Amino acid sequence: MNGDRSVRGVLALILVLTILLWSGTQTEAATSRLLGGTSVAAEELLAKPAQREYIVDTAGMISAEDAAQITAIGTELRTKTKAEIVVVTVSTLGGADIEGYANELFRSWGIGNAQMNNGVLLLIAKDDRAFRIEVGYGLEGAITDGYAGSVLDAMKGEFRKENYSPAILTAYITLAQKAAAEYGVALESLGAALGIPAKPAHLGAVADFGEMLMPEDATAIEQMGGDLTNATGAQMIVVTMPTLRGVDAGRFAQQLFIDWQLKDAAHGNTALLFIAKEEREIFFLFGSALTEMEQEHDTTYAVNRIRSEFPFDKDDISEEIRKGYATVAARLCEKAHVAVPDSIDEGCSEPFYVYIFGILIAIPLIGLLLYVVGHAFGLAFLSLSALLNLLSSGRYGHMPSGGGGGTYDDDDDRPTYHGGGSSGGGSYGGGSSGGGGASGNW
């Protein structure tokens, strides 16, 4: 009896050990699947820096100058928001899946504030031609998977040309802008990185760095700007730049709007007309009190008129900038329920020769339209007369009667379209994305 119990005890012990060994095997297999079939041991991950670093460039992809700018931006962002954005470059992941590697690195390094979970990791494996942006839950509302994918997409072209450092700096700036906007803070270091000029000491309504305005048009805009402020309290400024040297025009304009303290000036009743000459980019930005102006027809109309003059004759584009400014200024006056000042009203008007030219064009067009309409009515009258004559002659009653119709000949030699099932759609250029980031290859 005791022998049976001993045997059963031994068998139970063997069973328990077998289950434990099987569980360990399954856990290792699951980890291997998570990391793309290659388990990343703790010692295979990059060691966490002894002190806080915003760049760990083991693959040598970032210049010293760009690294300094990234460090300045990262430091200011963390100071003001507690968010952290870290760039890590490696030569290869040794066969590990980049999503699993990035996730493990993100967690083991503890990127971002522990309570706010607001870290961002940009991981680049140079020889694998793979990259990923890993985002903590605290910033997923701002840096969505789609947005992260678009950042990677923008990097591809430069990476394929091996322009690694500028592309990494631009991506870092883009992510930092988004994070700063989420917390409602301005980063002075971003302006320096983007090359935004210093705000003029005596800024009026014009800052023509791109030399796109004729003197008389610049003077007219200054007059309109002063009258607009006096009438409505709103401020509208024109800024032109000769070139942005590869910087995204939209991000440049937004950062200038912030750095020059225009966004929140006049209680948010501000507007910026920004034009990048070489890039042929035009933006209207509005303060918090005028955001609905972004969708206004007058705003779109003004931008399209200016854009139509690229490539430009300076006289023509200068005039269109003045008219675009006046068009939006007049709309701001209407929204404020005040009379449009004479300077703005005159700025919207066309020269007299434009009206004369319009009349000369309109007269023959009207004549042609009347001729076509009259001709159509004449044909209709003749057809009606012929039908009445036919009915009155009685010929209609002698027309043969019988069933009408025919057969559709589907045996001819004309090609026939055969419909059928099809699969469509497309793959996102940045590659696969999941919760908390996006991955891709170049």
55-194 shares its CATH topology with 206-352:
yes
The number of C-alpha atoms within 13 Å of 328 and in the hemisphere containing its C-beta is 35
CATH number of 55-194: 3.10.310.50
When pLDDT is averaged across residues 193-206 and rounded to a whole number, the result is: 92
Could you tell me the two tokens for 402?
């019988």
What was the pLDDT predicted at 442? Answer: 80
What was the pLDDT predicted at 192? Answer: 85
R_g over Cα of the chain: 35
Domain ranges of the chain: 55-194, 206-352
Is the pLDDT at 32 greater than 50? The verdict is no
pLDDT in tens, 255-306: 999 899 898 888 999 999 999 999 999 999 999 899 889 888 889 988 888 8
Least confident of 28-42, 318-332, 416-430: 416-430
Q: Please report which confidence band the pLDDT of residue 217 belongs to, taking 50, 70 and 90 as the band edges.
A: very high
Q: Residue-wise over 37-54: b if at least 16 C-beta within 10 A, else e?
A: ebbbeeeeeeeeeeeeeb
Quickly name the fold that domain 206-352 has: Diaminopimelate Epimerase; Chain A, domain 1 (3.10.310)
Least confident of 30-39, 87-96, 110-119, 381-390: 30-39
The pTM for the full model equals 0.62
Share of the chain above pLDDT 70, in %: 73
Q: Please report which confidence band the pLDDT of residue 384 belongs to, taking 50, 70 and 90 as the band edges.
A: low
